[in-house]
């Protein structure tokens, strides 16, 4: 289905990206929680959401969505639109609510021919860093939501430039973005360290912060200690660590109260 047809079905207005209305779209995701958006594994899909802050652009880019349709008549601020322009991400807005928008598109056939496929099972590796590794390091500042997501985005661009498989890039991007947001939300500062080898990509997220009192509880889906102001942004749904593990072939976490947390993830190539 063309984006133009989606625009017409939803009686939507184009906020930016008229020149992209001829792109093909095969599916859609409707969500107002960042972790739900990142966990969606559809390709060549549009995102329908009511979230309009800057992080929705970063999240959409990490998830490789083709466009955003803001529901309930929502229109993002100008700086968000400018960020979308830089990413060449079309933006539309419709007066329909999220539920009805999804229903209209599904009834019209969008996503009904989707074939579910499982990624090939590869053995997890806990190898130490290879001497052939390319290393990328990014500093993350706690509570800096204006810069949040930029490290994961920059790493994603590097992976594209060196020809890493798109499926692997998506897994690394989602894991990295969730890790980066965890540092921004919960820690004082931290680092994302990528080691890219011929066999796998290792991602280490290390922070200085309060630490995790109960790792087992923190790994449970839905468990969160994020304050209300974070939840209002669409974060803090308790899916950060579970998503990081879900998109990794090898996952380990260590935390010390009063000092910080270190998460190590390996994604096989």
Backbone angles phi, psi at 52, to 5 degrees: -125, 5
pLDDT digits (tens, 9 = 90+) for 254-269: 999 999 999 999 999 9
| Element spanning 68, H or E | strand 67-70
Cβ–Cβ < 8 Å for 40, 244? no
Domain boundaries, the chain: 3-107, 134-268
Cβ–Cβ < 8 Å for 13, 92? yes
pLDDT > 60? residue 207: yes
| Element spanning 250, H or E | strand 250-256
Cβ–Cβ < 8 Å for 32, 234? yes
134-268 CATH fold: Heat Shock Protein 90 (3.30.565)
Q: What is the CATH number of domain 3-107?
A: 3.40.1390.20
Give the CA distances from residue 98 to residues 74, 101, 216, in Å, rounded to whole numbers and listed in that order. 11, 5, 34
Closest by CA position to 36, among listed 89, 119, 98: 98
Apex 30 CA angle, 72 and 192, nearest 5: 115
Per-residue model confidence (pLDDT) at position 112: 75
pLDDT > 80? residue 95: yes
More confident residue, 131 or 35: 35
Closest by CA position to 248, among listed 263, 268, 225, 262: 268
pLDDT > 50? residue 124: no
Closest by CA position to 34, among listed 180, 156, 137: 180
More confident residue, 147 or 16: 16
Per-residue model confidence (pLDDT) at position 224: 83
Per-residue model confidence (pLDDT) at position 43: 79
């Amino acid at each position: 289905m063309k984006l133009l047809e989606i625009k017409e079905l939803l009686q939507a207005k184009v906020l930016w990206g008229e020149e992209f209305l001829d792109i093909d779209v095969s599916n859609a995701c409707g969500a107002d929680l960042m972790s739900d958006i990142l966990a969606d594994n559809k390709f060549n899909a549009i995102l329908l959401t009511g979230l309009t802050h800057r992080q929705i652009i970063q999240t959409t880019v990490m998830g490789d969505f083709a466009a955003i349709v803001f529901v309930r008549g929502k229109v993002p601020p100008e700086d968000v639109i400018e960020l979308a322009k830089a990413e060449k991400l079309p933006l539309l807005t419709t007066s329909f609510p999220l539920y009805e928008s999804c229903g209209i598109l599904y009834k019209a056939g969008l996503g009904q021919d989707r074939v579910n496929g499982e990624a090939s099972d590869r053995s997890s590796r806990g190898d130490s860093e290879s001497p052939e590794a390319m290393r990328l390091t990014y500093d993350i500042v706690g509570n800096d939501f204006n810069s949040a997501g930029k490290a994961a985005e920059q790493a994603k661009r590097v992976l594209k430039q060196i020809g890493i498989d798109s499926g692997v890039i998506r897994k690394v991007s989602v894991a990295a973005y969730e890790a980066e947001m965890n540092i921004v939300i919960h820690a004082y500062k931290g680092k994302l360290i990528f080691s890219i080898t011929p066999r796998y990509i290792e991602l280490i997220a290390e922070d200085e912060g309060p630490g995790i009192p109960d790792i087992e509880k923190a790994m449970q889906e839905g468990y969160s200690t994020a304050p209300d102001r974070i939840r209002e942004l669409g974060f803090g749904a308790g899916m950060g660590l579970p998503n990081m593990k879900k998109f990794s072939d090898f996952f380990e976490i260590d935390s010390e109260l009063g000092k910080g947390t270190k998460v190590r993830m390996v994604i096989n190539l």
